[in-house]
Chains A and B, each alone.
Chain A
Amino acid sequence: MSSEAHTSADYIKHHLQNLTYGQLPDGTWGVAHSAEEAKAMGFWALNLDTFIMSLLLGAVFMFMFRSATKSITTGAPSGLQNFCEWAIEFIDNSVRGSFSGKNDMIGPLALTVFFWVFSMNLMDLLPIDYIPLLMGALGVPFFKIVPSTDPNATFGMAIGVFLLVLYYSVKIKGVGGFVGELTLQPFGKWGMPVNLLLEGVNLIAKPISLALRLFGNMYAGEMIFILIALMGGAWAGMSLGGVTLYGSQILLSLGWAIFHILIVTLQAFIFMTLTIVYLDMAHQEHH
C-alpha cells in the first residue's frame, strides 16, 4: 500500500462500509459495490453483514445457554453450566439492584441484551483485516463484522427497548397516567406545554442516548483500530521510521485491544443497566 492519502482514505472507507443489499441504480436488486451505490439505495436497503453477524451471534448465545441447560445437574456445576449460572447470577443481581417493580421478563431481557451486545462488541477484538480480506477473497466487496458499529443495529435494539418502555408505561399507569406524567409535571397543569416539551425530550432522549452511546463507543474503537492499522501500512518501507512504526503498530493495537476488553464489557453492561433502569422508570407510578 502506498502512502498516498487517497489510498488511506479508501482503506478507512472500505472498513467502515457495510455490505448493503438494495436496489441498484440500474433498477435491479443486489449488493452495493461502492459507498455511493449503497447511499443511493436510500432507506429500503439491508446491511447484510450487520444482519448476518448479529443473527449468528444471537444464535451462538442461545445455543451456548441451551446446551448448558441440556446437561444440567443439581449437583456442583462444572464447565459451561457453571459459567452460565455465574452469568445469570450476575445479571440477576443487577436486575435486583436496579429494578424495583415486578416483571418476570426483565431478567431474561437483561441477560439477552447483555450477551448479545457483549458478543457483538467482542467481534471488535478480531484483527480488523481478517474478515474483510477473507470475504474479499470470496468476492464479497465489504464486510463489517462488528454489528454494534452500525447505528442501524444499536438503534434497532434501542427502539425495541423504547417500545417496551412505552408498553409498560401505558400498562402500569394507564393511558391517562402516562399522559399525565408527560404533561402535568414538573410545573403543574398551567405549565402543560412546557411540561410536555421537557418530558417529551426526556422520553425521546432515552432510546437515542442508549443507541448512540453504544454506537459511538464501538465506532470510535473500531476507528482507532483502523488508524493504528494504517500506521504500519501507510509507512511500510525499509527505513528506520518505517520499522519503528511497524513495530509500534503491533504494540499500539495490542494495547488498544487489551483496553478494549474493558470497553466491550462495560458498554454491554451499560446498555443492559440502562435497559433495566428505563423499564424500572416505566414501572413506577410516581417519580
Chain B
Amino acid sequence: MNINATLLAQTVMFALFVWFCMKFVWPPIMAALEQRRKQIADGLADAERAKHDLELAAKRSAEILREAKEKAGEIVNNGEKRASEIVEEAKAQAKIEGDRIITGAKAEIDQEVFRAKEQLRTQVSAIALAGAGKILGREIDAKAHNDLLDKLVAEI
C-alpha cells in the first residue's frame, strides 16, 4: 500500500458526500424531529391550558357558590329583620290602640261620673227643697226660689 492521489479523490468525494448529507439528508430528518417535538410540546401545552382552565372554572364556580350563599344569608337576615320590625310595629300600634281605647273608656267613665254627680245633685236639691218645705210648713214656690235652689245645688 502506498499513498497516492486516490486518497485525494476519496477526500474530495467524502467532502462532497458530507455536503450532500448536510444539504439533503439531514434537514428532512431534523424537520421531522422538530415537527415531532413541536407536536408533543403543543399537546402538552394544550393539556396544561385545559388543566388551567379547569382550575379557573372550579375557582369561579366556588366563588359563585360562595356569593350565592352570602346573598341567601343576607336575604334571610333581611327577612328576619323585617319580620321583627313588623312585630315591633304591630306592638307599637297595639299599644297606641290600647292607649286610645283606655283614654276613651276613661273619658266615658268621667262623663258617667259627671252625669251621676249631676243627677245626684238634682236629687239632693229636690230632697233639700222637700226638707225645707216640710220645715217651713209650706210649699216653697219652686219658681220663686229657683235661683236660691240653683245656688244650693251648686254648693253641694
By a beta-carbon cutoff of 8 Å, the part of chain A in contact with chain B is: 1, 11, 14, 75-78, 82-83, 85-86, 125-130, 132-133, 136, 229, 232-233, 236, 246, 249-250, 253-254, 257-258, 261
Contact = CB atoms under 8 A, between A and B. Distances in A.
Given A1-B6, A86-B33, A128-B10, A77 B17 contact: no
Contacts, number: 75
A127 B13 contact: yes
- Shortest 7 CB-CB distances between A and B: which pairs? A76-B41, A127-B10, A233-B6, A253-B13, A76-B40, A250-B13, A127-B14
B136 interface: no
Contacts of B37: 76-78, 82
A236 B25 CA distance: 32
Contact of A83 (B4, B5, B33, B40): B33
Given A127-B11, A133-B1, A233-B6, 15 more contacts: A76-B38, A76-B40, A126-B14, A127-B7, A129-B6, A136-B1, A229-B6, A229-B9, A232-B6, A232-B9, A233-B4, A236-B6, A246-B5, A250-B9, A253-B10
Interface of B: 1-7, 9-14, 16-17, 20-21, 25, 32-33, 36-38, 40-41, 44
Q: Is the interface of B mostly helix, strand, loop or mixed?
A: helix
Give the interface centre of A125, A136, A250, A257 by most chain B CB atoms within 10 Å: A250
A14 B14 CA distance: 21
Contacts of B7: 127, 129, 133
Contact of A261 (B4, B16, B25): B25
B9 A132 contact: no
B5 A233 contact: yes
Contacts of B16: 250, 254
Given A76-B40, A125-B17, A86 B6 contact: no
27 contacts: A1-B6, A75-B41, A76-B40, A76-B44, A77-B37, A78-B37, A82-B33, A83-B33, A85-B36, A86-B33, A86-B36, A127-B10, A127-B13, A129-B10, A130-B14, A133-B7, A229-B9, A232-B6, A236-B4, A236-B5, A246-B5, A246-B9, A249-B9, A249-B13, A254-B13, A254-B20, A257-B17
